[in-house]
Structure 1
Amino acid sequence: MITSSQMRVLEINSEAFGVSTLQLMENAGRSVADEIEREMGTSSLSVIVFVGHGGKGGDGLVTARHLADRGANVTVITMGEIKHRDALVNYGALEEMDFSVRVLRIDDLDSPLKADVLVDAMLGTGVRGKVRYPFNHAISLFNASKGFKVAIDVPSGIDPDTGEALGEFVSPDLVVTFHDVKPGLLKYNFKYVVKKIGIPPEASIYMGPGDLLTLKQRDMRSRKGVGGRVLIVGGSSTFSGAPALSALASLRTGADLVYVASPERTAEAISSYSPDLIAVKLSGRNFNESNIKELGPWVEKANAVVFGPGLGLEEETVKATPTFVEMVMRLGKPLVLDADGLKIMKGSKLSKNVVITPHPGEFKIFFGEEQKENERERINQVVEKARTCNCVVLLKGYLDIISDGYSFRLNKAGNPGMTAGGTGDTLTGIIATFMAQGYSPYISAGLGALVNSLSGTLAYRELGAHLTASDVVSRIPKVLNDPITAFKERPYRRVISS
């Protein structure tokens, strides 16, 4: 099964990887014509196609064109202005077919029709809320008309995900749905066929701009905190930059409040980087056991926690880390375990709420083995290790591999400049923000990898291999505001060996 939002992701990703939505529409409409021909033949067949404003209407226009080409007598009934980009292209083509296709408006019709075949191309997977005029009038007319009734993708008037009736809905003899069955169809006893329309497997394997377009938009009446509260625990007497970069990336991704908890003198240095950072001063020169109690209220307050950037490997830190990590997991808080925190917790079984983000060296430390050289073997290795540690693994590299132990996603949107120090710290902040906003650890890890890579790619286009982690942070909003444009900037390269 596939939901309407998942289908939209695949369509956008498909276009990003070279198979246009116009081509998908062509394949969809042709497949409907094929099914009608299989059921009824086409020579001298009378067909009426009810066409809506959007993408489903475009599918219907393609269906009409193909049936007319095969000898059918075709009438198209529009609901008014065609609005979808690809549907407009196909409507233009149909306008030139004024000898073989007749076009009418629904406003001109008020009594039932009769044809060998009636095609419902009115309301698709984008439908929301109660069906209104002219669609409610058209659906009533469609149902009252005589002929073999075919619905494209999902019958008009039905929510594609829930099956809820949004008023009167089309009652078809056949549903031709695309790529996979929609959940709403299963609520009814409709006869349906599933047709593949050319969406490449890569559209669901690789992270793409479609994944980012599913992010929830901020409501105008939103209050402070709706973007999530992130707690970042890191830094030491030696390192202060890493947790600051994670925090700044988190803010740029959309977190409303970011707390950076570090040893006292380190926290003072971090607070000087930006007035946007809330620095929490911990006692001692490095993270230690006394800090665990100090951090309790901050962990409770946070929606997600980052642990490890710049933490150091002092003896007191190594001793305190397992207790703190166990506390966060016990409280059920989403956690990104990175850098030194990951090294200290090597070999541990964690929880479904945890994301670890190792580079190849850290992967060897945590799991006790080198990453596989062959990419396909490496993917299987990451899936296996994610299942072993009971957490989400994001293995960083020129090909990022993300797995929850059962599924996997890949990201190849990076660039050579991302070897700059600190870009892993920006990644942890981005992932934590998505988790704080309610996305699952697995989805957050994939989204984080893509946003971090695309932000780095925008910097790389301008600065080449001279970019810094701060350059990545500054471009996060551009990616989130226009992921399709950002994705077009990526340097394409083949990364999977056979």
Structure 2
Amino acid sequence: MITTSKMRALEINSEAFGVSTLQLMENAGRSVADEIEREVEVKNSKVVIFVGHGGKGGDGLVAGRHLSERGAKVEIVLLGEIKHKDSVTNLQSILDMDFSVSLRNFEEVEGLDLNGDVLVDAMLGTGVRGKIREPFKSAIKLFNQLRGFKVSIDVPSGLDPDTGKDLGESVKPDLVVTFHDMKQGLLRTDFKVVVKRIGIPPEASLYAGPGDLMVNLKPREMKSKKGIGGRVLVVGGSETFSGAPTLSALSSLRTGADLVYVASPERTAEIISSYSPDLITIKLEGRNFNEKNVEQLTQWVEKANVVVFGPGLGLSEDAVRATPTFVEHVLKMGKPLVLDADGLKIMKGSKLSRNVVITPHPGEFKIYFGTEPSASERERIEQVMDKARECNCVVLLKGYLDVISDGTSFKLNKAGNPGMTAGGTGDTLTGIVATFVAQGIDPFTSAYMGALVNSLAGTLAYSELGPHITASDIVQKIPAVLSNPIEAFKKRVYKRVITS
């Protein structure tokens, strides 16, 4: 079963991995023709196809072309201007077919006999939203009144693909030919449904890709108010380390957080303030994080949508004593948490919660779970899934192949490059993940999206500077990735990484 948004992400990812949406459309339309041929005698039959202006319309055009080639008399009814780029390509193919396919607009069909042996619904697909408007409402009503074996492509027009709800007027088909996986809304209907594979490669779902970013990141409305992009609290730093929490905080800002608070020991906070006027620093009592700071931070935890804990924290006795208390405090307040670096080391072996993301590199993974990551990537995937169930949280194991799991599902990321061995790249990752969580995206999705954005930002920097990049270079490239994920993805340093 699959949702509309996940299907859209797969289609974009598929193209990013080299299987074009035009090819997917060809496969979809041909599979519809195949299923129709299983149901009726196609040769010399009359097939009427109602075609909308989106991708589903393109599937219908391809099906019409294949049915015509198999001897059917095909009539196509267009419900407006074709807008989908691949559908335009397939419409041109139909226009070039002078003898085998007839083509007319919906406004021209009044009084014509559109009854047929087969009627194909290629009007409205998974992109439908809200009440059905004209001319589709009238077209759907007419379609249902006509005689013939009725076939809907992907989902019946007028049906919400995720809920199965009738949106005011919907097609009542004899058969639904859907693609790749069962659509969620179809499970709530009694229609006969056939699921057809159309060539989406497994990598499109196994690896994080640009489609995951494009369907999950929503554009801001003009009337957006401060805070809509999320409020992130970064707790870290020590008398020794000031750069790590700063990198996490700046990455959060560049990812789109509206407000980022950085809580560090007083002198460290003063140093962090000098890095950027965009950061709001909270000066904690003491030279290192300590138990007195827990209560001091309560009001700031309440303000935040997510808490980052650990970058540059250090392993002082004060920090080691105070960390479990603070983590428990954050979780009791119901706040999502991204646990990284020294915070992760101190909390080793802990069972956390479903709204926690931990981001270990292999050494930290060994410290936290008491075992080294497997050398085999396939075994490592199973291992990370097991450990995510064990700690009851999302695990993002960093490496040349990132493995991310919530214990039930997993995602992989291989978009990095050799330059990302530079110090601080894990801190930028933490800030990116935290911002996605702060914006209301679930922790698992935030984790694999964050891994991809961090890697692609590093890749853009690597393409300019080679292996001489720094974490600060990654911070500056985050907006370019978010603005155009597909172009950024094209620049990735591709290597086969999975071993048996």
Which TM class, normalised by the smaller chain length? Answer: over 0.9
The residue aligned with 1:222 is 224
Contact 1:11/1:210 (<8 A) preserved: yes
The residue aligned with 2:200 is 199
Kindly state the Cα deviation for residue 212 of structure 1 after the two structures are TM-superposed.
0.1
Contact 1:110/1:141 (<8 A) preserved: no
1:167 corresponds to which letter in structure 2?
A: G
The residue aligned with 1:97 is 97
The residue aligned with 1:240 is 242
2:211 corresponds to which letter in structure 1?
A: G
In structure 2, what is the Cα distance between the partners aligned to 1:385 and 1:58? 45
The residue aligned with 1:68 is 68
The residue aligned with 1:142 is 143
1:115 corresponds to which letter in structure 2?
A: G
Contact 1:235/1:266 (<8 A) preserved: yes
1:314-371 Cα offsets, whole Å, 9 max, x none, are 1111111111111111111110110111111111111111111011111111111111
In structure 2, what is the Cα distance between the partners aligned to 1:353 and 1:56? 37
What SS class does the counterpart of residue 116 from structure 2 fall into?
A: strand
Following superposition of structure 1 onto structure 2, how do residues 422-437 of structure 1 map, counting pairs within 5 Å? 422-437=424-439
In structure 2, what is the Cα distance between the partners aligned to 1:490 and 1:449? 13
TM-score normalised over the length of structure 2: 0.98
The residue aligned with 2:132 is 131
Contact 1:154/1:175 (<8 A) preserved: yes
1:355 corresponds to which letter in structure 2?
A: V
In structure 2, what is the Cα distance between the partners aligned to 1:124 and 1:319? 56
Following superposition of structure 1 onto structure 2, how do residues 160-199 of structure 1 map, counting pairs within 5 Å? 160-199=161-200
In structure 2, what is the Cα distance between the partners aligned to 1:480 and 1:281? 32
Contact 1:282/1:291 (<8 A) preserved: yes
1:241 corresponds to which letter in structure 2?
A: G
In structure 2, what is the Cα distance between the partners aligned to 1:160 and 1:403? 27
Kindly state the Cα deviation for residue 465 of structure 1 after the two structures are TM-superposed.
0.5
Identity of aligned residues (%): 73
What SS class does the counterpart of residue 252 from structure 1 fall into?
A: helix
The residue aligned with 1:46 is 46
In structure 1, what is the Cα distance between the partners aligned to 2:447 and 2:48? 48
In structure 2, what is the Cα distance between the partners aligned to 1:425 and 1:413? 17
Kindly state the Cα deviation for residue 418 of structure 1 after the two structures are TM-superposed.
0.7
The residue aligned with 2:211 is 210
In structure 2, what is the Cα distance between the partners aligned to 1:313 and 1:246? 19
Structure 1: which 4+ aligned runs deviate by more than 4 Å? none
Match of 1:402 among 401, 404, 407: 404
Kindly state the Cα deviation for residue 23 of structure 1 after the two structures are TM-superposed.
0.8
The residue aligned with 1:83 is 83
1:388-408 Cα offsets, whole Å, 9 max, x none, are 111111000000000111211
The residue aligned with 1:275 is 277
In structure 2, what is the Cα distance between the partners aligned to 1:191 and 1:3? 19
The residue aligned with 1:35 is 35
The residue aligned with 1:257 is 259
In structure 1, what is the Cα distance between the partners aligned to 2:99 and 2:286? 85
Match of 1:284 among 283, 286, 310: 286
What SS class does the counterpart of residue 77 from structure 1 fall into?
A: strand
What SS class does the counterpart of residue 80 from structure 1 fall into?
A: coil
* Higher mean C-alpha displacement, 217-226 vs 407-416: 217-226
Matched, 1:464 2:455: no
Query: How many equivalent pairs are there?
Result: 498
1:400-432 Cα offsets, whole Å, 9 max, x none, are 000111211000011111111111000000111
1:113-150 Cα offsets, whole Å, 9 max, x none, are 21110100000001112212221121122112111111
In structure 2, what is the Cα distance between the partners aligned to 1:352 and 1:137? 47
The residue aligned with 1:318 is 320
1:426 corresponds to which letter in structure 2?
A: T
The residue aligned with 1:303 is 305
In structure 1, what is the Cα distance between the partners aligned to 2:386 and 2:133? 51
TM-score normalised over the length of structure 1: 0.99
In structure 1, what is the Cα distance between the partners aligned to 2:146 and 2:390? 59
Contact 1:235/1:312 (<8 A) preserved: yes
Kindly state the Cα deviation for residue 202 of structure 1 after the two structures are TM-superposed.
1.2
Following superposition of structure 1 onto structure 2, how do residues 150-165 of structure 1 map, counting pairs within 5 Å? 150-165=151-166
RMSD (Å), alpha carbons: 0.9
Following superposition of structure 1 onto structure 2, how do residues 113-124 of structure 1 map, counting pairs within 5 Å? 113-124=114-125
